[in-house]
Amino acid sequence: MRLEDAARLTHADWISKAEETRARAETPLFIGGQFVDAARGGSFDNISPVDGRLINRCAAGTGEDIDRAVAIARASFDSGEWSRLAPRRRMEVMFRWAELIEEHAAELALMDTIDIGKPITDMIRVDMPQVIECVRFFAESIDKVLGSLTATETDVLSTVLREPMGVVACISPWNYPLLMAIWKIAPSLAAGNSTILKPAEQSPMSSYRVAELFVEAGGPPGALQVVNGLGEAAGQALGRHMDVDKISFTGSTEVGKLLLGYAGQSNMKRVSLECGGKGPHIFCDDLPDDLFDRAVRTAIDGVFFNMGQVCSAGSRLIIHDRIHDRFLERFAELGRTAYVCGDPLDPSVNLGPLIDHGSQARVLGMIERARSDGAQVVFGGSAPQGALARGAYVEPTLLAGVGQDDFIARQEVFGPVAAAIRVRDDDEAIEVANNSNYGLQGGVWTDNFRRAHRYVRELHCGTLFVNSFEEGDMTQPFGGFKESGNAKDKCFDSLLAYMNAKAAWFRLN
């Protein structure tokens, strides 16, 4: 079912579709175009964060499965069936793939909602359109990649060719299961690599289905395989593999650092990292009323959307002294009710549970610690009771009176928690914003262009928004500085990052 039809489904429709999907939700490994059990027969429980019920048992791939998938990927790459396919033929397969994803959009959306408890409305409205756009963007880009002739002596032809790298392993997180996977596998495939995806263990369902659709679209089975498994087993085996040429990773900074280590201890494979964040969202004191109101509403979405499980969330609200109290008052007035906790299958719900009960306990513990460090809980701060008590829910929470060096201002929460920090002036705002190990995304709201320009120049973030937040399209590079990582996703340059530049020097005389 396509998105426009899915948008008309009711809560009851989604419940019945979810039951059907759960009933056939098997997730064996997808190796060489076949669904197979893990070589050692291992599996683990996939538990719903909505009610603690078992969703299914997932095959747990280990090093042996990774070895098998890598050998198939290498053979496929060497055969040239995908890597040397004429760019326009590769493009046709990718366009067919996008078409199939569009036809199955409701099914794929539901899989992510079941796995991680993400509101179905967000899947239909946000994730799936971006998934489809991403595949089309990289399909369109395939024959726009140019090599070059360098400026050199007359009797020399000096060329630079762009070639696929070989076997690329993509390791993805659970917070946008299909979208984060597609941001990696689409450019990797477009570049001609044989690609292995290890999805997050909490959210494998949609990855298998999308890989199956790639083969249905005409992609060779060795070009895209999916091997789920625990990070320390399947993920580490990819990271240490001697025949994997590149790892493209999105996930925590902690695991990103491990992957750099694995590469150094194995074959020096390229490692592209998209890791954590603690986004500064700055509000200056020169906002006219309409911009002020838009700023508050955007700040609320910037930190509570997707239950705050967003690497680029604007989780540090850095507010100029003169508007601080008025800003928090309006934030509290709107923010208390903007996000409704409930069953993620209900199209009117926009706040589901966190990924699991461990995460819920961790986030509640961080709120408690902030409180004991002196922060005031303006609203939220606990888990909803009653019908939702079995789920891993946390209420949207606003903490005021946070100091820039407090634990809550420095640690990524990955939950719906905003920390408000009061600042005197632009100098202090910039100092506070840059006082972080992370540097992924930030935003600034001001009515003064010169001021905005100074913030853009001085903030250490990979992406900055002025009078907006979390917008953008496929042309915009997404990625951070410092411990937020070293890569860019989405843009045309990210396609080049899945290719090697090869220099050739032809002596002509």
231, 401, 403, 477: which one binds ligand NAD (CB under 6 A): 231
- Which conformational region is residue 305 in: left (phi greater than 0), alpha (psi within -120 to 50 degrees), or beta? beta
User: Using an 8 Å Cβ cutoff, are 159 and 149 in contact?
Assistant: yes
Instruction: Specify the residue, 63 or 87, whose C-beta has the smaller distance to ligand NAD.
Output: 63
Task: Give, as ranges, the residues between 308 and 327 that touch ligand NAD (CB under 6 A).
Answer: 311
Stretch binding ligand NAD (CB under 6 A), from 71-79, 103-111, 271-279, 453-461? 271-279
Q: Which range of residues in 70-78, 254-262, 331-339, 376-384 is near ligand NAD by CB under 6 A? A: 254-262
Piece of the chain touching ligand NAD by CB under 6 A; list 44-52, 92-100, 234-242, 337-345 = 234-242
Q: Which of 58, 134, 311, 461 is catalytic?
A: 311
C-beta of 142 vs 311, nearer to ligand NAD:
311
Nearer to ligand NAD, 297 or 362 (CB): 362
Measured CA to CA in angstroms, residue 63 lies from 221, 228, 237, 314 at distances of: 20, 11, 5, 38
Distances (CA, A) of 428 to 312, 425, 451: 22, 5, 14
Annotated active-site residue in 170, 201, 212, 274: 274
CB of 239 to ligand NAD, least distance (A): 5
Residue among 336, 334, 335, 354 at smallest CA distance from 344: 354
Is residue 408 a contact partner of residue 369, using CB atoms and an 8 Å limit?
yes
**Count of Cβ atoms closer than 10 Å to residue 342 Cβ:** 20
- 311 belongs to the catalytic site: yes
Q: How far from 328 is each of 19, 303, 429, 440, CA to CA, in Å?
A: 42, 14, 17, 24
Q: Which is nearer to ligand NAD, 259 or 345 (CB)?
A: 259
- Does residue 239 bind ligand NAD (CB under 6 A)? yes
Residue 126: DSSP 8-state: I
Nearer to ligand NAD, 194 or 463 (CB): 463
Does 187 help bind ligand NAD (rule: CB under 6 A)?
no
CA dist 133 to 98, 111, 164, 213, 274, Å?
8, 19, 22, 16, 20
Task: Provide the edge-to-edge strand list for the sheet that holds 463-466.
Answer: 376-379, 397-400, 417-423, 316-320, 280-283, 441-445, 463-466
Site membership for ligand NAD, residue 198 (CB under 6 A):
yes
Determine the angle formed by the axes of helices 205-216 and 177-190, rounding to 10 degrees. 30
**Is 274 considered catalytic here?**
yes
The yes or no reply on residue 488 touching ligand NAD (CB under 6 A) is no
CA nearest 82: which of 225, 181, 190, 238? Answer: 190
Q: Indicate which single residue of 364, 440, 444, 495 sits in contact with ligand NAD (rule: CB under 6 A).
A: 440
CA-CA distance, 165 to 50, in Å (whole number)? Answer: 41
From 55, 73, 180, 370, residue interacting with ligand NAD (rule: CB under 6 A): 180
Restricted to residues 398-437, the positions that interact with ligand NAD (CB under 6 A) are 412, 414
Residues that bind ligand NAD (CB under 6 A): 171-175, 180, 198, 200-201, 231-232, 235-236, 239, 250-252, 255, 258-259, 274-277, 311, 412, 414, 440, 480, 484-485
- Residues serving a catalytic function are 274, 311
